Amino acid sequence: MSSSLAMQHQEVVRSRPVLQAYHLLHIAFTVAPIIAGLDKFTNWLVDWSSYLSPLALAVLPMSGDTFMIIVGVVEIVAGLVVFFKPRFGGYLVAAWLWGIILNLVLVPGFFDVALRDFGLSLGALALARLSEDIVAE
């Protein structure tokens, strides 16, 4: 992209709140799943397996820690899908968050996190919808 074309694009983004909202959501739903996914390998932010419901732990054919490593890989991939295909990726992340919410409502004491994730899922849906007008995929 030439310098003048890049400047024109920046000016259009500055003058259109819809584009600003799209870019904010696109960055957020690319970076956040990747960070959360990478942290599944280190548990630096939180002990992620503590969020697993007793029902999930009972039906999983593996330990909670092993499952969380798999979840981490899925989240990293989801973040990359959002980056390259935001329309599909937005719906993918929203569906993923609904799965997390379902798990969280089965864990006593995590209803606040489930509510937060519901709000995030609405943001992911907004990204997908905005992408339909902004991005040619």
Q: State how many domains the chain has.
A: 1
The boundaries of the domain holding residue 58 are 3-134
Distances (CA, A) of 23 to 29, 81, 86, 95, 134: 10, 15, 10, 21, 10
Helix (H, G, I), strand (E, B) or coil at 47: coil
> What local confidence, expressed as pLDDT, does residue 1 receive?
55
- How confident is residue 4, by pLDDT bands cut at 50, 70 and 90? confident
pLDDT digits (tens, 9 = 90+) for 60-114: 999 999 999 999 999 999 999 999 999 999 999 999 999 999 999 999 899 999 9
Helix (H, G, I), strand (E, B) or coil at 111: helix
Q: How far apart are CA 90 and CA 19, in angstroms?
A: 16
pLDDT digits (tens, 9 = 90+) for 26-61: 999 999 999 999 999 999 999 999 999 999 999 999
